[in-house]
A and B are shown apart, each in its own frame.
Chain A
Amino acid sequence: MRRISSPEALSALLVLLPLLAVPWAFKPYTANVLAVYMIYGLLAMSLGLIWGYAGIMSFGQTAFFGIGAYAYGAIGLNLIDRTHQTHAALLGGLAAAALLAAVVGYFMFYGRISDVYASIITMALTLVLFAFAVSTGGDEWVIGVARFGGFNGMFGQGESSQNIANFQIPPVTLWLPGMAAPFEFKINRESTAGYFLVLGASVVIYLLVRFLLRSRLGRVTVAIRENEARVASLGYDTRFYKLALFTIAGAIAGLAGMLFAAWGRFVNPDRFGLGFAASTVVYVLLGGRTNLLGGFVGAAIIGHLTSYLAEVVPFTTIPGDAGPWVTFLMEASRRIVREAPLLVQGAVLVGVVLVLEDGITPPLFRFLTRHRRWGWWLLLPAVLLYFGHRVACLQADLCVF
Chain B
Amino acid sequence: MSLDTAVIMALEILNSITILVLLALGLALIFGMMRIVNLAQGEFFTAGAFTVLTAVRYAHLPLWIGMLLAPCVVAGIGIAIEWLIIRRLYGRPLDVMLATWGVSLLLIGLITVIFGAVTQGIPFALGNFAVGRYSYPEYRIVMTTVAAGLMLSVYLLFRYTGFGRRARATIANPEMASAAGINTPRMFMLTFGLGAGLAGAAGAIMAPIVGVVPTMGVLYIARAFITVVVGGPVVLLGTLSSASALGFIEALISRFPLFRIETAGHCAPPPCEISIGGSAFFGQIALLIFAILLLRLLPQGISGFWRQRE
Contacts and interface: CB of A to CB of B under 8 A. Distances in A.
A353 interface: yes
A45 interface: no
A209 B299 CA distance: 32
Contact of A131 (B106, B229, B285): B285
Interface in A53-91: 57
A116 B99 contact: no
Contact of B272 (A57, A140, A285): A140
B62 interface: no
A141 B265 contact: yes
A352 B267 CA distance: 52
A350 interface: yes
A350 B103 contact: yes
Contact of A335 (B88, B112, B225): B112
B99 A342 contact: no
Most buried by B among A121, A348, A351: A121
B95 interface: yes
Interface stretch (A27-35, A106-114, A174-182, A237-245): A106-114
Contacts of B295: 113, 117, 121
Contacts of B98: 281, 285, 349, 352-353
Interface stretch (A122-130, A191-199, A317-325, A361-369): A122-130
Contacts of A128: 285, 288-289
B199 to A, nearest CB: 18
A353 B272 contact: no
B274 A141 contact: yes
A354 interface: yes
A131 B85 contact: no
Nearest to B99: A353
A339 interface: yes
B296 interface: yes
A117 B113 contact: no
Nearest to B228: A120
B85 A336 contact: no
A124 B292 contact: yes
Q: How large is the interface on B (under 10, 10 to 19, 20 to 34, 35 or more residues)?
A: 35 or more
Given A120-B225, A124-B222, A349 B99 contact: yes
A388 interface: no
A86 to B, nearest CB: 22
A114 B99 CA distance: 20
A162 B267 CA distance: 10
Contacts, number: 129
B97 interface: yes
A139 B103 contact: no
Interface in B97-123: 97-99, 101-110, 112-113, 116
B56 interface: no
Contact of B99 (A127, A345, A350): A350
A313 B265 CA distance: 43
Contacts of A353: 89, 95, 98-99, 102
Contacts of B218: 274
A324 B112 CA distance: 21
Contacts of B101: 278, 281, 346, 349
Interface in B137-161: none
A203 to B, nearest CB: 29
Interface in A188-242: none
A117 B274 contact: no
B109 A343 contact: yes
Given A140-B267, A353-B99, A342 B109 contact: yes
B299 A112 contact: yes
Contacts of A132: 285
A342 B263 CA distance: 41
Contacts of B108: 342, 346
Nearest to A337: B113
A142 B99 contact: no
Interface residues of A, number: 51
A348 B288 contact: no
Interface string B258-282: 0000011111000011100000010
B106 A343 contact: yes
B299 A339 contact: no
Contacts of B264: 142, 144
Contacts of B85: 350, 354
A335 B110 CA distance: 9
B193 to A, nearest CB: 19
Nearest to A163: B266
B28 interface: no
A135 interface: yes
B226 A342 contact: no
Contacts of B273: 140
A346 B106 contact: yes
A366 B261 CA distance: 58
A131 B102 contact: no
Contact of B265 (A111, A117, A140, A335): A140
B251 interface: no
Nearest to B116: A335
Interface in A270-313: 274, 278, 281, 285
B106 A139 contact: no
Contacts of A332: 113
Contact of B97 (A57, A107, A336, A340): A57
A131 B299 contact: no
Contacts of A115: 94
Interface of B: 37, 85, 88-89, 93-95, 97-99, 101-110, 112-113, 116, 218, 222, 225-226, 229, 263-267, 272-274, 281, 284-285, 288-289, 291-292, 295-296, 299
30 contacts: A111-B299, A114-B299, A115-B94, A116-B37, A116-B93, A121-B292, A123-B222, A128-B285, A128-B289, A131-B281, A139-B265, A139-B272, A140-B274, A141-B263, A142-B263, A142-B264, A142-B272, A162-B266, A278-B101, A335-B112, A336-B113, A342-B112, A343-B110, A346-B104, A346-B107, A346-B109, A347-B106, A348-B102, A349-B98, A354-B88
Interface of A: 57, 107, 111-117, 119-121, 123-124, 127-128, 131-132, 135, 138-142, 144, 147, 157, 161-162, 274, 278, 281, 285, 332, 335-336, 338-340, 342-343, 345-354
The 3 closest A-B pairs by CB, nearest first: A349-B102, A346-B105, A140-B272
